[in-house]
Structure 1
Amino acid sequence: MNLNHVNISGLRPIVGDGRKLYIETYGCQMNAGDSEVVLSILQGDGFRYTEDPAGADVILINTCSIRDNAEQRIWGRLRELRQYKKKNKGLLVGVIGCMAERLREKLIDQEELVNLVAGPDAYRDLPRLLREAGGGAKAVNVLLSGEETYAEISPVRLDKNGVSAYISIMRGCNNMCSYCVVPYTRGAERSRDPQTILREARELFDGGYREVTLLGQNVNSYRWKNGETVAGFADLLGAVASVDPKLRVRFSTSHPKDLSDEVLHTMARYPNLCRAIHLPAQSGSTRMLELMNRKYTREWYLGRIEAIRRILPGCSISTDLIAGFCTETDDDHRQTLSLMEEVGYASAFMFKYSERPNTKAARHMADDVPDGVKTARLNEIIALQNELSLRSNRLDVGREFEVLVEGVSKRSDRQLFGRTSQNKVVVFDRGDARVGDYVRVRVTDCSSATLHGQRVE
């Protein structure tokens, strides 16, 4: 069906005369959302967005520290930016986000590369920091906050399609998984006022968006208390779903230890709460999970999977998996493979363990699995997941789904692509459909990554 789209210019970057700001974002969805907050703050200070780094007055690199290779990519990118600094002596380059928090001294010592360093809770201070950097000072603010949520700031949307957007509902993390640097770079957990989240969702829907993803390091632990009023994640989900039945709602990421039946029953009550849950397992071995400080066992995790299947039949499940964590044995690895088989994940993010400085694992555990063994185990995990994804997609052949159209296919401008409620990508002939429409599609074929279908009139 065709939906009436309204002008979304109020949500989009301001271009034209003014100091030019270019932002590059690395890492997770939280970073993508943060870049939109940064742009909103700096537009208020007179900056205008550009997609051309060569014409920028300020270049900000929003960084990730979750793995060493992510940081190495950013160091490489900073060296590449020298070409722009040589041509524009007044160009300011800033590093913001998690890497700024973790490596502030090392970054600010690189004066020929970096003029400004700002942590995830210091974005309101960017106008001042840029003025200091412009005057030749070392501009640094990496103070973590126990309260900052940027709740009242309306992000300036940088997505390309005008259909799907992120809403950050909380910041920080209290879980202290032994391998993870996030609590050290993003601070303690704090939740946003639900009214500000609902305001943002309504703004997006009124601006033509048809899908929002609620973001948090652990969305299941969302909790807002104001006097006698307490709102948990299930309450928030129901409220956002009630903004409009044509607004799809997703969320990420769920921690297994906090995924309640209440959340699942709320999802079952609202058809526009998408039937897809990202539930990071990290390992299939209870011994590994204890070392990782995940606070659940394999049996607990499988109990949550059973609850999803029972309360939300047809819900797709995706996960995160780490290969080669400290002391991992062949048996631990086989337990991860068997967990994958038992759950039958639709998709997964899969990584080799990368030791991060100052985490509990780095301080107290030996990174003793050889890199070659990590790589071999990761390759086994990837190969199995490709098979599981293909199995999952084959089950959808012959079925009909409501698809939200997100864009034109990369292979042919005569085809569109969108996603099902289960978060699977479907490619189909465009006909008269437009980006932002909901269409019915019958799946006719698939690969491990994509469904192929035909419009159903």
Structure 2
Amino acid sequence: MRFHILTFGCQMNVADSDWLSQALISRGWTESAEEDAQVFLVTTCSVREKPEQKVYSLLGRLKGYADRDPAVFVGVGGCVAQQIGEEFWNRFPFVRLVFGTDGTAMVPQALERLVEDPALRVSLLDFLDHYPEREQPEEGRVGAQAFVNIMQGCDNFCAYCIVPFTRGRQKSRSSDAIAAECESLVRRGARELTLLGQNVNSYGQDGHGDGTTFASLLRRISAIPGLARLKFTTSHPKDIAPEVVAAFGELPNLSPQLHLPVQSGSDAMLKSMGRKYTRERYLGIVRDLRAACPHIALTTDIIVGFPGETQRDFEDTLELMRQVRYESSFSFKYSDRPGVRAEKMNFKVPEEEKARRLAVLQDLQNRITAEELESRVGAEVDVLVEGTSRMQDGAALFWRGRDGGGRIINFPSPLPDLTGKMIRVRILAAKKHSLTGETRGEPW
């Protein structure tokens, strides 16, 4: 069977899609272009309204393939599937499989049943009380960058967030299973691993797993021979341990990069959001991180226009951004999600005011990003090459990669294939969102 996967949302969804692709290929299925597919899998996100609308638009487009060939069908997974569930079957009859994150491990077997029985529909939406382990391929090369889930779900119930309702309560995975997967990926070609979870800092605190702390897990994975870089996301500030902060100065292959969502710089908004830390606590974490690793690159998430946010609250966020100087940020206008506490809060900020505040915030971020990139000119960094660059001038072949801080770097090289290699690069110039440089030595 020929399949095609379309993915929306977070890196955990990307990791789920990558695993589904590997699992189906190991069963003899073939990944194909969209126009040739017999089975479509759509991994969805409902954290914000726009990705959810994109899913409905996509299904409307996929209907054309099902109309031309009744054997074509679609499986919808992820957060929107967990919310909408079997209602998809009423609106889109060609959707024959719906599955939540806990059901992902059973999708390959379900698809085989659906192929055998054209009248069958399957729902995999139950939450489990443990982390559902997935079969792990032991053979075949993998890309230089790989993602590894270490947990699933979330126990924080922030006022604006639908994740605990769509991904369930937190369940940590056993450290032995994580280590075995990481070791396998490195043996098969991975140079960089990213550990994933809704809140990796609370790994091991949920009564599942085996009691290993996140700091201990980092040290175990960091020690895998051949692993060039180790990353993790996402971190909740309320749970980051001093041992994790210290690891940035102690583990040589732990990338000097951290995504640390702040959401707001206002104590009033942080309390209303249910974030369980204060502005000063957050800034203290930043100071400790920079003491442990002075060159660490920090990124964040910010919500503007949360219910009750005043102009003063918004100014507090801008001031915090000036203090921290994030390399980049993901910023969004608040939007109601069904079933969360914030949906019922009063004093909603008007849409036009949310848009104005977002524009101001993003303008400030663009200026800080440009200044931070400019400060990197003259530095020499190790770059993990991801492939050829879109920036080509015809004189030489340009390649694209990232340094340890996650910055995009473009550089020319006559070598025929650098994808997946590490190479030393001297930074020559800063662009709007990237850097350019020249190679210094041979790849490895």
TM over 0.5: yes
Pick aligned residue for 1:373 from 346, 353, 358: 353
Contact map agreement 1:58 1:91 (CA 8 A) in 2: yes
Matches within 5 A, 1:326-337: 326-337=307-318
For residues 207 and 319 of structure 2, the distance between their equivalents in structure 1, rounded to whole angstroms, comes to 45
2:437 paired residue number: 453
Matched, 1:34 2:16: yes
Deviations 1:362-394 (A, max 9, x none): 2x3136111111111111111111111111111
Matches within 5 A, 1:164-175: 164-175=145-156
Pick aligned residue for 2:365 from 385, 391, 401: 385
1:116 paired residue number: 97
316-325 or 31-40: which moved more? 31-40
Q: Secondary structure at the match of 1:401?
A: strand
1:32 is aligned with what amino acid?
Answer: V
For residues 253 and 453 of structure 1, the distance between their equivalents in structure 2, rounded to whole angstroms, comes to 30
429-438 or 149-158: which moved more? 149-158
For residues 214 and 157 of structure 1, the distance between their equivalents in structure 2, rounded to whole angstroms, comes to 21
**Structure 2, gaps ≥5 residues long:** none
1:401 paired residue number: 381
For residues 347 and 87 of structure 2, the distance between their equivalents in structure 1, rounded to whole angstroms, comes to 24
For residues 229 and 26 of structure 1, the distance between their equivalents in structure 2, rounded to whole angstroms, comes to 32
Give the direction of change, closer, same or farther, for the CA distance of 1:450–1:91 in structure 2 (3 Å limit).
same
Q: Secondary structure at the match of 2:318?
A: helix
Matched, 1:144 2:124: no
1:404 is aligned with what amino acid?
Answer: L
Structure 1 residue 339 displacement after superposition = 0.6
1:64 paired residue number: 45
Q: Secondary structure at the match of 2:14?
A: helix
For residues 224 and 151 of structure 1, the distance between their equivalents in structure 2, rounded to whole angstroms, comes to 22
For residues 50 and 306 of structure 2, the distance between their equivalents in structure 1, rounded to whole angstroms, comes to 16
User: Number of paired residues?
Assistant: 435
Contact map agreement 2:3 2:29 (CA 8 A) in 1: yes
Q: Secondary structure at the match of 1:231?
A: coil
1:373 is aligned with what amino acid?
Answer: E
2:275 paired residue number: 294
1:419 paired residue number: 402
Give the direction of change, closer, same or farther, for the CA distance of 1:155–1:109 in structure 2 (3 Å limit).
farther
Matches within 5 A, 1:250-399: 250-362=231-343, 364-366=344-346, 368-399=348-379
Contact map agreement 2:141 2:188 (CA 8 A) in 1: no
TM-score (norm 1): 0.90
164-173 or 265-274: which moved more? 265-274
180-189 or 396-405: which moved more? 396-405
The higher relative CO (CA closer than 8 Å, separation ≥ 6) is in 1
Contact map agreement 1:220 1:233 (CA 8 A) in 2: yes
Give the direction of change, closer, same or farther, for the CA distance of 1:386–1:90 in structure 2 (3 Å limit).
same
Deviations 1:303-348 (A, max 9, x none): 1001011111110100000111111111111111111001000011
1:131 paired residue number: 113
Q: Secondary structure at the match of 2:302?
A: strand
Q: Secondary structure at the match of 1:230?
A: coil
2:59 paired residue number: 78
Contact map agreement 1:387 1:448 (CA 8 A) in 2: no
1:205 paired residue number: 186
Contact map agreement 2:170 2:206 (CA 8 A) in 1: no
Structure 1 residue 404 displacement after superposition = 1.5
Structure 1 residue 110 displacement after superposition = 1.5
For residues 391 and 193 of structure 2, the distance between their equivalents in structure 1, rounded to whole angstroms, comes to 26
Give the direction of change, closer, same or farther, for the CA distance of 1:101–1:261 in structure 2 (3 Å limit).
same
Give the direction of change, closer, same or farther, for the CA distance of 1:132–1:50 in structure 2 (3 Å limit).
closer
2:72 paired residue number: 91
Structure 1 residue 129 displacement after superposition = 6.1
Deviations 1:275-329 (A, max 9, x none): 0010000000010011110010111100100101111111010000011111111
For residues 436 and 452 of structure 1, the distance between their equivalents in structure 2, rounded to whole angstroms, comes to 18
Structure 1 residue 96 displacement after superposition = 1.0
Give the direction of change, closer, same or farther, for the CA distance of 1:225–1:323 in structure 2 (3 Å limit).
closer
Q: Secondary structure at the match of 1:243?
A: coil
Give the direction of change, closer, same or farther, for the CA distance of 1:151–1:52 in structure 2 (3 Å limit).
closer
Contact map agreement 1:284 1:337 (CA 8 A) in 2: yes
Contact map agreement 2:71 2:118 (CA 8 A) in 1: no
Q: CA RMSD in A?
A: 2.3
Give the direction of change, closer, same or farther, for the CA distance of 1:123–1:47 in structure 2 (3 Å limit).
farther
Contact map agreement 1:61 1:95 (CA 8 A) in 2: yes
For residues 68 and 345 of structure 2, the distance between their equivalents in structure 1, rounded to whole angstroms, comes to 47
Contact map agreement 1:116 1:140 (CA 8 A) in 2: yes
For residues 209 and 297 of structure 2, the distance between their equivalents in structure 1, rounded to whole angstroms, comes to 36
Contact map agreement 1:116 1:130 (CA 8 A) in 2: no
Pick aligned residue for 1:440 from 424, 428, 433: 424
Matches within 5 A, 1:222-233: 222-223=203-204, 230-233=211-214
Structure 1 residue 113 displacement after superposition = 4.3
Deviations 1:126-179 (A, max 9, x none): 3236635843244222111121342553499998xx211111111111111110
